[in-house]
Structure formats: C-alpha cells, structure tokens
C-alpha cells in the first residue's frame, strides 16, 4: 500500500515522535509498502493534500503529545476522510486526559491510584508520597516523585507555572509494569507479554526512556497467574476506553501483587527503546510485521 507516516507535530514530545516515525517508515518499507514521511501541524495541513494527490491509502500518525496523540490530529484526519492507524478522536482525547481516564476507570471499578488536579492557584492536598505530573503530557516530562510535603511544595512551585493543570497521584511502591495491546487480524485486542521496567535512575524518566542504555526490561518477571491477570486487566482497560488497533497500558504492581493502572498511551513509542515493539517482537511479531498488521487493520477498519 501507499502509506504516509506523519511524525513531528507541535508537542513537547516532537523529537521522540520524529524518531518513532523514522523507525515506523523503515519497517513499513521493509514490509514492502511505498512510504512517504511528512509532518502535520494544526496550522499546516499540506501533508494531507499531498496524501490525496499521491493516491495514498493509509496514514500512520506517529505523534506523541497532547495535540498529535490527544485528538487534534485525529480530528483533522477524520474530517479529511483519511484511513489512519490508531485510536479515533474520542478515545485519543480521553486517554490523553489522565484525570478523565482515571475517572472512567473508577466508574468501571478498575484499579487506579487516588488523585487530584491542581493549578498555580491551588496547592496539592493529597497525603505523601505522591507523583506530580502534567495532566496531558507524556514521556515523563515535568514528572516529580515527592516523598514528603516539602518536596511537594518545591515541585508544585516549579511545575505549575508551565503546566496549566497538574495531576497529583498517590505514589505506588512496587514493580513498574507495562502491557502492550495490538488487535489481531480479526480485530480482537490481544495483550502482549508484560514488561517490568527497572531503571538505573531514581525513576523511569525521559533519559531512562530514550537516551540511557542501562534501563532493564524484564520479561517473565512475575508468576504466571499474575501475568495472566495483568494481561486481562489491560484488555479490559483497552475496551473500556474505546481504544482501537493498538495501545499501551502502564501499571504498578504493589507489594501485595495488586495492579494499579497509571495511564494509557494510544500511540506508544516506536523508537529503539520503545516497549510495545519490544513486547511484540517477544511474541513473534517483529517490527515490519507489526506495522504491516496495523496498516492492514487501518485499511479495513474504516467506518467513515
């Protein structure tokens, strides 16, 4: 097929998006597709005109961030009547809003840590330890782990001026886990093998995710019954939030083996350090086959 890979965008995760897009484009070419790589901005949609003139068949939008992954790009693609990989606008918008995601999970009686939203006018009140992070950004940008009230005050004072809304969340002690979801050929969501993330740094920050090579990624890190439970929970989350084709569910597993859903990424990374491609390869689905499946699903799974 003729596939246009869109990457970059206006968000703070632009550089990660460009790296993911390059990996996706290379894998699509290896799978036999004709590929063009373009950018897309809220005020520059030249790529969509080029896609139509080229006779393109599917768009693979590899954006990370609150516009590209959070409904803005998806709205443009749907308005243009373009077939594309990933969640539709409503699910993309929901999952990018961490607090809205957590409310939906709580309504469905799915486990997620206690939380509150604050801004530059309202200080956090949740008992420590807590995590403070932007409500609609990813890649651990502006994330702070606060073990005591003094750390909370410092993080809030630093982060609130540049983040209109901050999510304050109860910090869960335990294993950091992630479960990728990819739909099979029939459209059923399938949970990939779980990965335990063991950073060499204090926590899984931007450098640990994309720069350093000493982060450890462990398969078979939990008993089989726990693995089955985590995969089942991830699929329930995928369905509840209305995700489509692929997503990644990030969790913590506490010391009592109770899982807590932290957030959902509707367009997981595709860099050399990224987790969903790593788990897919572990399950026998190397990157060229993975992206081929995704564009094939997108070509067939179009409601209009």
217: annotated active-site residue: no
Q: Are 138 and 111 in contact (CB under 8 A)?
A: no
81: annotated active-site residue: no
269: annotated active-site residue: yes
Q: Which of 20, 135, 265, 274 is catalytic?
A: 265
3-state secondary structure 217-249: EECCCCCHHHHHHHHHHHHHHHHHCCCCCEEEE
250: annotated active-site residue: yes
Q: Which of 9, 56, 180, 269 is catalytic?
A: 269
Q: Which of 135, 139, 163, 274 is catalytic?
A: 139
Q: Are 302 and 83 in contact (CB under 8 A)?
A: yes
Q: Kind and range of the H or E element at 261? A: strand 259-265
User: 183 pairs with which residues across the strands?
Assistant: 189
Q: What is the DSSP string of 276-299?
A: HHHHHHHTT--HHHHHHHHHHHHH
Strands 174-183 and 195-198: antiparallel
Q: Which of 13, 69, 97, 142 is catalytic?
A: 13
User: 119 pairs with which residues across the strands?
Assistant: 122
Q: Which of 210, 231, 244, 247 is catalytic?
A: 210
Q: What is the dihedral of CA 286, 288, 294, 298, to 10 degrees?
A: -170
188: annotated active-site residue: no
User: 3 pairs with which residues across the strands?
Assistant: 35, 58
119: annotated active-site residue: no
Q: Which residues contact 248 (CB under 8 A, 6 or more apart)?
A: 178, 179, 180, 181, 264, 265, 268, 275, 276
Q: Which of 250, 292, 293, 297 is catalytic?
A: 250
Q: Which of 248, 274, 292, 293 is catalytic?
A: 248
**In Å, how far from its chain's centre is CA 246?**
9
- Give the C-alpha separation, 4 to 102, whole Å: 33
User: 61 pairs with which residues across the strands?
Assistant: 6
Residue 136 DSSP SS3: coil
103: annotated active-site residue: no
136: annotated active-site residue: no
Mind telling me the catalytic residues? 13, 139, 210, 248, 250, 263, 265, 269
């Amino acid at each position: 097929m003729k596939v246009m890979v869109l990457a970059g965008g206006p968000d703070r995760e632009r550089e990660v998006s460009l790296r993911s897009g390059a990996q996706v484009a290379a894998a699509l070419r290896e799978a036999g597709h004709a590929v063009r790589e373009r950018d897309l901005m809220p005020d520059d949609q030249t790529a969509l005109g080029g896609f139509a003139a080229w006779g393109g068949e599917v768009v693979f939008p590899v954006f990370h961030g609150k516009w590209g992954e959070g409904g803005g790009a998806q709205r443009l693609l749907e308005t243009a009547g373009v077939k594309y990989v990933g969640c539709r606008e409503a699910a993309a918008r929901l999952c990018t809003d961490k607090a809205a995601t957590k409310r939906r999970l709580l309504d469905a009686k799915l486990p997620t840590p206690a939380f509150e939203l604050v801004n530059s006018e309202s200080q956090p009140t949740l008992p420590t330890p807590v995590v403070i992070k932007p409500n609609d950004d990813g890649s651990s940008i502006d994330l702070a782990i606060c073990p005591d009230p003094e750390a909370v005050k410092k993080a809030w004072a630093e982060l609130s001026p540049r983040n209109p809304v901050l999510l304050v969340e109860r910090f869960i002690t335990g294993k950091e886990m992630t479960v990728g979801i990819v739909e099979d050929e029939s459209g059923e969501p399938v949970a990939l093998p779980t990965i335990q993330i063991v950073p060499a740094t204090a926590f899984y920050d931007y450098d640990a995710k994309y720069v350093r090579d000493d982060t450890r990624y462990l398969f078979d890190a939990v008993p089989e019954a726990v693995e089955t439970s985590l995969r089942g929970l991830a699929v329930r989350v995928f369905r509840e939030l209305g995700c489509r084709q692929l997503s990644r569910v990030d969790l913590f597993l506490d010391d009592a083996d109770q899982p807590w859903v932290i957030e959902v990424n509707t367009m997981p990374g595709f860099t050399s350090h990224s987790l969903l491609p790593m788990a897919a390869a572990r399950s026998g689905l190397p990157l060229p086959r993975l992206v081929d499946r995704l564009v094939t699903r997108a070509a067939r799974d179009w409601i209009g």
